[in-house]
Structure formats: C-alpha cells, structure tokens
Homo-oligomer: A and B are copies of this chain.
Amino acid sequence: MTTDDLIALRRDLHRRPEPAWREFYTTARIVDELESRFDLDGLHVGADAIADEQRMAVPDDAELDRWYVQARDAGIDEAILEQLEGGYTGAVAVLECGPGPTVGLRVDIDGLPREESNDPDHHPAAAGFRSEHEGAMHACGHDAHATIGIGVIERIANSDFSGTLKVFFQPAEEIIGGGKSMAKSEHIRDVDSLLAVHIGLDHPTGEIVAGIDGFLAVCHLEATFTGEPAHAGGHPEQGRNAVQAMATAVQNLYGIPRHNDGKTRINAGVVEGGSAANIIPEESRIVAEVRGETTELLEYVRANARRVLRSAAEMHDCDLEIDVGAEAPSATSDGELVSIVETVATETPGVKTVLERDQLGGSEDATFLMREVQRNGGTACYVGVGTDHPGGHHTSTFDVDEPSIGHAVDVLSGTIERLAREHP
C-alpha cells in the first residue's frame, strides 16, 4: 500500500464516522480491505471478535438499525454487514509469520456524536472529505487509528518478522464500552506484548511519546429523576419538578471537592428533561462521567456523585434511578517495551523528538487489554504519535496531519520487528 492508499482509506473512514457499536460501515470497510489485500491466518469479525456478555452501553435497536441501514445504503458488502447485526462491530486480524512472540496491536475505530465544522479553513471540509453523517464526526483520530492498523499489517506481512501479529480493531472506545469485551475474548490470551496507539494528544507532528501513562479510571452514571407533572400555570404546587432536581444535582456535582491525592474529574455530559413549556417537568436525566487518577480516587468521586444525585432527588421529592454504565481502569506502560519504542522512534525518519513518557490525563479502555496482557505475564505499552491538530480533541475542527499516519506505521512495525528479534 502506498502512502496515498493509506490516506485515501483514512479519508473514506473520515467521511463516514460512526459512533460506538454503530461502526457498521467502518468495520465492513476494514474487513473488506483486509480480505482483499492480505492472506490472513485468522479474521474474527463481530461476535467472534469479542466476549459478548462484556459489551457495555450498547444503544437500543432502533438506533442500531438506523446506522445499519445507512451503512447498507452506502453500498458496503452485505455479506460482511450481516455479521455485524445487533451492533457486533469490530474485528481481530491474525497474521502468523513463523515461530516467535505473539504481538498485539490495538486500534480503536469509532467516531463521536458531534457536528463537524463546515469552515473552509477546516481541511476535511476544504478537501471534500468532511463527515457525511450529520451529527457525527471523527473528532479524535480513530479514522487514522484504523488506517494505522491496516498499514502495520501490510508492513509486517512484507517484513522478516517471525512471530504472530494480532491487530484488534476495537469498537466503542469513546463510550469506554468496547475495550472490556475485547480484553475478555479468547484472542488476547496468548498475546505476549501489546501495543496501543493514539495520535495527537497535543504533541506536534514528528514527536513520539514512547510510553503513555496517567490513564484516569473512569465510570459512567446515568441518573433518571422522576417527579410529578402539573399544569405550570394552574397548579405549580402540585408538581414535583424533575428539572429542578437535575439542576441542583448538576450544580453540586461540579462542586464535589478536589482531592489532594491526585486528579479527579466529573462531567454532566448530557442532560435533558421536561416535555412542554407549560408542564412542570416530570422527568429528567443526567449522563455523567466520573474519573480518578487511581481506583480510590474514582471511588471517592463516584460515592460523592451518588450522594449528590440522591439528595437532589429528595430535595424535589423525586424518585431516582441510577444506572451504572461503562467503566475502565487505570494502567501503566511497561518500561521494557517503552525503551524499545523509544529506540525505534529515534531511528525513524520524520521523527524529530522522542519523549520517554507522558501522562494521558484522560481515560481509555485500552487499559482493559493492557491489564489483561500484564495479568497474563506479558507487557503492554501505549504509544503516542504526535500530529498537528488545529482544533482540540473532540472539537468540531479537530483534524490529523496525515504524515503522522506514516510515522505511526513506521514506529509500530519497527517496534514489532525489533521485539521479535530481541525476544524470539
């Protein structure tokens, strides 16, 4: 594959961003690419790629259907698509190249529910590959990640690597819903070393971070407040106002005290409530996310958040239901792998700076796979690949500087080859 091929693939995926568990087009396109280009020794698609019962936060059928139909209408291979029905997106590709270690590479493939910028200064808009899915966008570079996964397979297939390569095309990272299901699948069990990769993260093109740490443990909570409706003009006193409960909760969630032991985070990311201007709102909802630098800190914020939600409900005489959503742990990159990445990166053309370590400061469910491999006695490393991104991650003007895709392919495949040579 030429650089142009990779860029074309990335742009095609960029045009069709699909949020968590709805990566129908994306997965089918990846599978199609893999099947047509490579002679793989294994290709596990959809339900075969994961531990089914570990999927978290899967949308309802109506939502899945909408995206499924959209993917089909885009003209993708229906035979592949059928394997994905029910939101079973994602795939694991296996390439056996003789005796040697089993090396895993995890890339995530989902998009975000946000509208992409139309500004002519926004490169995808100017160059004609802006999102065609209204309200969805690849605003975190997972289009590039999927492309990197393909690029690494091709590079390894054409190298003298001896060992087995498994590439995990993971769905639903943005809602930390997919990592656990891949970590608990059988495919991870024999992985000796796992690499994960993320582009950007405020590092410029040409900068590589050999080992990223500082993953915040994270948990999603969805709170539903149920009160009593009433006519807002005629009998306001008969209502039990679920929107007042929600607003009280939001104000106090953000007021949970900072903790001296490390980072904590809280976000009321999605809220809604009420049905009409003239009805005292009967129902409201908060989708919140809490994080902590460690499990203890996560627990601290979570316990406080629960108390806030409970008291806010009581304050307005509402009932409360809290659904615990997806969750991901913390993790660390192993020094041994980090130093291989560091060495390889230093020798990679186009790479100008190599940092040994940096902190993510956010969450990631790659941590499920990393911890699983480490628990089995293997090593894991999360690699950062700088890219000049004009807008911040998750904003409407995020974009990747495409040469960084090549850097990622170079550094990751170089690391995989060297790993096999050093630990045959």
Query: Which residues in A have some Cβ–Cβ distance to B below 8 Å?
Result: 112-114, 174-175, 201, 216, 218, 220, 228-239, 241, 243-244, 246-248, 250-252, 254-255, 257-261, 263-265, 267-281, 284, 287-289, 291, 300, 307-308, 310-312, 314-317, 325, 360-363, 392-396
- Chain B residues with CB below 8 A from A259, complex form: 236-237
With A247-B246, A314-B311 given, is the CB distance from A395 to B229 under 8 Å? yes
Closest to A176 in B: B278
Closest to A228 in B: B395
Partner of A279, one of B233, B271, B361, B394: B394
Partner of A312, one of B114, B270, B274, B315: B315
With A269-B281, A270-B281 given, is the CB distance from A238 to B392 under 8 Å? yes
Partner of A276, one of B114, B201, B272, B360: B114
- Chain B residues with CB below 8 A from A246, complex form: 247, 250, 271
- Chain B residues with CB below 8 A from A175, complex form: 276-278
- Once the chains are docked, how many angstroms separate the CA of A386 from the CA of B145? 50
Copies of this chain, whole number: 4
With A218-B233, A230-B395, A237-B300 given, is the CB distance from A174 to B311 under 8 Å? no
- Once the chains are docked, how many angstroms separate the CA of A232 from the CA of B288? 10
A and B contact pairs by CB, cutoff 8 A, 22 listed: A201-B234, A232-B265, A232-B289, A233-B291, A233-B361, A234-B362, A236-B258, A237-B259, A244-B254, A247-B247, A251-B251, A252-B315, A252-B316, A267-B277, A269-B278, A269-B279, A270-B274, A271-B271, A278-B363, A307-B315, A312-B315, A315-B315
Shortest distance from the beta carbon of A376 to any chain B beta carbon, whole Å: 27
- Given A114-B276, A279-B394, 7 more A-B residue pairs with CB atoms under 8 Å apart are A175-B278, A232-B267, A233-B289, A237-B261, A239-B257, A251-B251, A258-B265
Question: Would you call B291 and A268 a contact (CB within 8 A)?
Answer: no
- Chain B residues with CB below 8 A from A235, complex form: 260, 361, 392
Closest to A393 in B: B231
Most central of A247, A274, A317 by chain B CB within 10 Å: A247
Question: Would you call A393 and B255 a contact (CB within 8 A)?
Answer: no
Partner of A392, one of B231, B263, B265: B231
Partner of A248, one of B113, B252, B394: B252
Closest to A279 in B: B394
Question: Would you call A255 and B258 a contact (CB within 8 A)?
Answer: no
With A247-B247, A248-B251, A276-B269 given, is the CB distance from A114 to B260 under 8 Å? no
Most central of A231, A273, A360 by chain B CB within 10 Å: A231
- Once the chains are docked, how many angstroms separate the CA of A187 from the CA of B140? 57
- Chain B residues with CB below 8 A from A284, complex form: 271
Shortest distance from the beta carbon of A80 to any chain B beta carbon, whole Å: 28
With A238-B392, A255-B255 given, is the CB distance from A112 to B271 under 8 Å? no
Question: Would you call B248 and A234 a contact (CB within 8 A)?
Answer: no
Question: Would you call B233 and A363 a contact (CB within 8 A)?
Answer: yes
Closest to A326 in B: B277
Shortest distance from the beta carbon of A219 to any chain B beta carbon, whole Å: 10
Question: Would you call B271 and A243 a contact (CB within 8 A)?
Answer: yes
Shortest distance from the beta carbon of A135 to any chain B beta carbon, whole Å: 8
Shortest distance from the beta carbon of A324 to any chain B beta carbon, whole Å: 12
Question: Would you call B260 and A236 a contact (CB within 8 A)?
Answer: yes
Partner of A269, one of B237, B271, B275: B275
Question: Would you call A231 and B394 a contact (CB within 8 A)?
Answer: yes
